[in-house]
Structure 1
C-alpha cells in the first residue's frame, strides 16, 4: 500500500534502494521489477551508505533522479541505525522511508526496537517490557531539514508529505505506520482501519518538521489536548498482539502517548 502511494506521489524518476526485509522478496528481474523502479537490494546496514554514493553518481551525470531508501523498522531502528545516523548527520541528499510494522515481520514477527510496550511477539511471548524507540525524535536530534510521520490509513496525507519531501534538498526522513495483519493479529481487510485508529487514538502522531518548524497534521490536531483524544483501547482491542495486556501495561502505554504529545507540544513552542 505504501509503495503504491509513493509511486503516485514521486512519479517515475526514482531510484530505489531496498534494505533487506519484507519488500526484498516480491521483485522480478532487473533493471525493472514489480515496483516499476530501478531497484538495488542491499544488506540491512548498507542502505544509507549506498544512497549516499548513488545520489552523487546521478549528480555527476547531471541526472535529476530522486534516490529513496526503503527500509523496515528492523533495518532502521536496529541493524541499520548506525549508517542511518551517519547519513543524517552528513545531510545526504536522499529520502529515507521507514515502513514501520513494529517487528521483524519477514522472519517471523520477532520484536524490534520499534515494537511497542505490551505487544506479544515470538520473542516476547508475555508482551514486550520496553517502549517503542523514538525514531522521529532521534532524527530531529540530527537537525535534518525534513522529517515526518504518516500512516497507510491516511493516503492523501502520506502522498502530500512525500511530494513535499521531494522538493527539499538534503536528508529527508519519513516514518510510515504500516499495520501488519499477521504480526498484529487482525483481519487483513481492516488494515486501513487499524492505520486510522492508531492516529485517531493518538498512538501514532501525524506531523512534519521542516527546518525545525513543527506542524501537526489536521488528522492529529485533536491530540494536542488530552480531553479530546479517542480512548487508546479502541486501537489496542482490534489487535491480537495485545491479548496479554493488563491494566498496568495499559497505563504504561497511555503514559507513553501522553509523553509523546507533551514532547511534541514542547517542540512546537521552541
Structure 2
C-alpha cells in the first residue's frame, strides 16, 4: 500500500468527509505538489501549530485568496522553469470558494493559470458555527437560516459553482462525491494531466453540521448522488459528460437521516420543493439512464 501524504492524528471530527476527500486528493496528486489552502475547517484541523498532517509544501492563505496565492506559486515555478515537474493545487471550503474567495478564483480561471482548484463542499461555514454559505441547499437548517413558523430554512438555492467555473471557458470542470473515492482520484489525475485552470467540487458530508451519525458519511454522500440532489458530471472543453444514476431514489431517503432537514419530513410543501430541485438536476445534466 502506498504511504499517504495526508497523515492521521489531525483533529477532524469523526466521520469528517472533508478529511477523507483531502487525503484522496493529495494521494492522487502525488508528492510533487504544492498546495495553497484558505482559512477554514481543513486548515484548522490539519495544521495546528507546530504540527501538520501534510507531507507536501502547503501554504495557509487568507480566507479569500488561496486562488491568488496559487496563481503566484504557479507563476514563480514557471519563471524558474519548474512548473512541468510540480502540480499546483488551490483548495478551500464552500464559503471560501463560492462567497469570500469567488473574485480571486474567477481571476485565476480567467488568467489561465495552470492550477487545479478543489472546493470541499460541506454546504455551510462549519468552522465558525454552521452559518449559511452560497452552497448551502435550499430549506437547510443552519444557525443563520433557522426554520420556524415563517421559514422553511435557507431561502436561497445552491449556487451553481461548477457551471460558473465552466462559463470561464476553462478546459476541465468536474463534480465528485466522497461516497465514490475512486472517482475522485480519477478526476484529480485527469485534471492534473490537462494544462490550464481546472475546477473540481467534492461533496463532503459534515456529521456536525448536517447532524448525521459519523458512521453514515459514505451513505449520506451516496444518497445525495442517487437522489439527484448532488449531480456528478464533468465538463471537458465545455462538453457535458454526466455520471448516470442507475436507480433514482426519492429525496426523503437522503433527508431523513440528517437533522438539518428534520423540519421538512412532515411538511409536504417543503418535500415537494426539494424533490423539484432533484428532478431539475436530473433533467439539466441528463442523469437518468
Task: Confirm or deny a common fold (TM above 0.5).
Answer: yes
Counterpart of 2:118 in structure 1 is 97
Which of residues 130, 134, 147 in structure 2 aligns to 1:113?
134
| Residue 19, structure 1, aligned to residue 45, structure 2 | no
The answer as to whether partners of 2:228 and 2:281 remain within 8 angstroms in 1 is no
Q: Distance in 2 between matches of 1:191 and 1:206?
A: 17
Matched, 1:179 2:205: yes
Other structure's SS at 2:114 match: coil
Structure 1 residues 29 and 121: alpha-carbon distance in aligned structure 2, compared to 1, 3 A threshold: closer
Could you tell me which residue of structure 2 aligns to residue 165 of structure 1? Answer: 191
Distance 2:177 2:219 in 1: 11
Deviation (angstroms), 1:260: 2.2
Question: For residue 213 of structure 1, what is the aligned residue in structure 2?
Answer: 239
1:241-268: CA deviation from partner (whole Å, max 9, x where unpaired): 00111222221112222222322249xx
Residue 19 of structure 1 deviates from its aligned partner by 0.6
C-alpha RMSD of the superposition: 1.6
Structure 1 partner of 2:262: 243
**Cross-structure match for 2:14:** none
Cα separation, 2, equivalents of 1:3 and 1:200? 23
The 5 A counterparts of 1:225-244 are 228-244=247-263
**Structure 2 segments unaligned to the other structure (5+ residues):** 1-19, 148-152
Shift of 1:170: 0.6
CA distance in 2, matches of 1:88, 1:239: 35
Q: Secondary structure at the match of 1:136?
A: helix
In 2: Cα distance, 1:177 partner to 1:201 partner = 14
Using structure 1 for the length normalisation, give the TM-score.
0.91
> 2:111 and 2:80 mapped to 1: Cα distance?
22
**Unpaired segments ≥5 residues, structure 1:** 223-227
Q: With structure 2 as the length reference, what TM-score do the two structures score?
A: 0.86
Contact 2:131 2:144 in 1 (8 A): yes
Pairs aligned (count): 258
Q: Distance in 2 between matches of 1:116 and 1:85?
A: 22
Q: CA deviation at 1:28?
A: 5.1
Aligned counterpart, 1:33: 52
> In 2, Cα distance between the equivalents of 1:45 and 1:69?
12
Q: Give the C-alpha shift of residue 46 in structure 1.
A: 1.1
Between Structure 1 and Structure 2, the one with more helix by share is 1
Cross-structure match for 1:143: 169
Query: Matches of 2:138 and 2:268 in 1, distance apart?
Result: 13
Measured against aligned partners, the alpha-carbon deviations of 1:172-221 in whole angstroms (never above 9, x if no partner) come to: 0000000000000011111111111111111111111111122112xx34
What residue number does 1:192 align with? 218
Kept after mapping to 2: 8 A contact 1:118/1:244: no
**Which residue is equivalent to 1:77?**
98
Check whether the contact 2:123–2:132 (CA below 8 A) recurs between aligned residues.
Answer: yes
Report the 3-state secondary structure (helix = DSSP H, G, I; strand = E; otherwise coil) of the residue aligned with 1:149.
Answer: strand
After superposing on structure 2, the runs of 4+ consecutive aligned residues of structure 1 that deviate more than 3 Å are none
Where do 1:32-71 residues align within 5 Å?
33-63=52-82, 64-71=85-92
Q: Secondary structure at the match of 1:243?
A: helix
CA distance in 2 between counterparts of 1:244 and 1:33 reads 39
